[in-house]
Structure 1
Amino acid sequence: MPPDSITWQVFRNPLALFVGGVAAVILELAEPRVRAGVWDHSSFRTDPVERLRRTGLAAMVTVYGARSTAEQMIAGVRRVHERVEGVAHDGQAYRANDPELLDWVQATAMHGFLHAYHLFVRPLPLAQRDSFYADGTAAAHLYGAQGSPRSEAELEALFGVMKPKLTRSPVIFEFLRIMRAASVFPLPLRPVQHLLIRAAVEMLPRWFRDLAGLGPRSGLRSWELPLVRQVGAAADRVRLDSSPAAEASLRLGLPRDYLWKAAATSASIRSSSPS
């Protein structure tokens, strides 16, 4: 995908990645077969920080890495997934490389990252949101997700298909407890960590929160929403010269701060546009 894509902008924002990643896992854990695969075959319960680090690295390589590097990494992930299979607690057999499950995992990740950015960093028009989904199609196919959504409308259609298959589970609440206790942020910033975890719950579709039993106390208080948006907007302005986004810009012959300048230009255009 090109460096001027909305995907490059979304993935350079650390708040969107953290909040969106947590929201994606919550959605994943509502599907019994995915839940069994994640909970029984990964290190989320024992080392959530390392698991998040590996997931984040995979996302960075997929978006910002050279195509050959991304293809090699994705092939390795596919080989690992080939060994992941079993029977979920409801009696359904599962394989991690099942196309239906891969479509769901891909969709939840794309929805999580995009809507965390849309809700907590800056609003994006529908055309850009659709472009984000379309951008991810090629990588999704490499992972084996042949039916991943290519637009927001297709995401909503997939939600409709999956809704009857999702179930409430104490594993979701255990995941949230683990994430609150994990040393993701330094100790002085632990209140921010808890705030962003609540933001992840807040951004989930209302129908899903009702299904999962995630009541109002699990999300943001009314006064916290503007605070998260301030943090998200600030994170979008912080230039990280060693970030994958900056390194990828250099690799393509662009200035290291290319994405930050592009975001500033976009913000200037929005602020000068008539309301």
Structure 2
Amino acid sequence: MIERVRGLASSAIFARVAGPEGAGRRDRIHGTPGPRRFSPADPIWRVHADPSMFVGGIRALLLQSLHPLAMAGVDQHSGFRGDPWGRLQRTSGFIAETTFATTAHADRAIVAVRRIHERVTGETEDGLAYAASDPHLLRWVHVAEIDSFLRAHDRYGARPLTPPERDVYVAQTAVTARLLGARDVPQSVAELDEVIAAYRPELRTTPAARAAARFLLVHPPVPLAVRAPYGLLAAAAVGLLPRWARLPLRLPWLPLTEATAVRAGGVAVTRAIGWAMTPPSRS
């Protein structure tokens, strides 16, 4: 009975995150022989295979939205409100390809995304021009994402990284960022912190950013049956945001609650996802 419940939960989670083509993509990513950039012993593999990525992903979207040019590109081109699960599936597929797949498959995925970026251009409501291929914007999206994944793994990961492993993780994720077109990508945690601090003068709230936060946190695109566990993931993600990022998005800062109830809820839901996604042991 327990294994049947595990199987049903695993199938439901995988279907949402990976989409209808997920099974075939998974087999190709993990089953294709050939050289790979990273191995199961690498920090990037450990972080990107951990359920804490669910928390990190929500935090990354909230943090990324504070750059008005990056948010304008997402708001005007990604269709995340009309097809949020499709965007999640494309993003998770790209992370899986560039982390676990052969180098050839990873490079193919990177080329495909670069071609999409070349078509994503426009203007903000203030008349500022943006392009998704802009190395400066690419670096912002990267550092906001990697900082979020790393902090979520530090807090909720099954096996947190040591300080040297955290630096290796930042350096390993920089490989894909550079291939996508970002420049001056951080190679250590200290450099990551410095780069994020340097972007702060450019960050501000916009109607699109606030709407995205409401969409993710108040009106999430999830069935009623999973609203409660999603709420725990979302609360855990907000709890990992720095104070300076919350006021622009009109998000609360509740240090006592976040240190107790929110943290306990985040641990519970990520452990439950990890249990559901782990194949049963065989004697």
TM-score by length of 1: 0.80
- Give distance in 1, aligned partners of 2:230 and 2:114: 31
Stretch deviating more after TM superposition (35-44 or 106-115): 106-115
Q: Indicate the residue corresponding to 1:226 in structure 2.
A: 264
Q: Quick one: structure 1 residues 156 and 228, their matched pair in 2 at CA, closer, same or farther if it must change by over 3 Å? A: same
Structure 2 distance, partners of 1:193, 1:230, is: 12
Looking at structure 2, the residues matched to 130 and 238 of structure 1 have their Cα atoms a distance apart, in angstroms, of: 30
Q: Which runs of 5+ in 1 are unaligned?
A: 242-256, 258-275
Q: Which runs of 5+ in 2 are unaligned?
A: 1-37
Identity of aligned residues (%): 35
Q: How far 1:19 moved relative to its partner? A: 1.4
Q: Which deviates more from structure 2 when the two are superposed, residues 202-211 or residues 31-40?
A: 202-211
Which letter does structure 2 place at the counterpart of 1:142?
A: L
Structure 2 partner of 1:90: 126
Does 2:32 align with 1:18?
no
2:210–2:250 CA contact under 8 A, matched in 1: no
The one-letter amino acid paired with 2:205 is R
Partner of 1:161: 198
SS in 1 for 2:130: strand
Q: In the alignment, which residue of structure 1 is the partner of 2:66?
A: 30
* Distance in 2 between residues matched to 1:213 and 1:238, nearest whole Å: 34
Q: Deviations over 1:210-257 (max 9, x none)?
A: 34432226984732212212333454455545xxxxxxxxxxxxxxx9
Distance between the aligned counterparts of 1:166 and 1:182, measured in 2? 24
Could you tell me how far apart the structure 1 residues matched to 2:239 and 2:207 are? 18
Change (3 A) 1:21 1:137: same
Distance 1:57 1:22, change over 3 A: same
Could you tell me the TM-score, scaled by structure 2's length? 0.78
Contact 2:68–2:204 under 8 Å retained in 1? yes
Alpha-carbon separation, structure 1, partners of 2:253 and 2:58: 17
Does the aligned pair in 1 maintain the 2:239–2:262 contact within 8 Å?
A: no
Equivalent residue, structure 2, for 1:208? 245
Between 106-115 and 60-69, report the one with greater CA deviation: 106-115
Among residues 114, 129, 148, which one is paired with 2:166 in the alignment?
129
Aligned amino acid, residue 216 of structure 1:
W
Which amino acid counterpart does residue 128 of structure 1 have in structure 2? Answer: E
Tell me by how many angstroms 1:93 deviates: 1.1
Is 2:97 the partner of 1:61? yes
Q: CA RMSD in A?
A: 2.3
| Equivalent AA in structure 1 for residue 59 of structure 2 | A
Q: Letter of the aligned partner of 1:231 in structure 2?
A: V
Q: What is the deviation of 1:6? A: 1.5
Q: 1:239 to 1:45 in 2, by over 3 A?
A: closer
Amino acid at match of 2:126: D
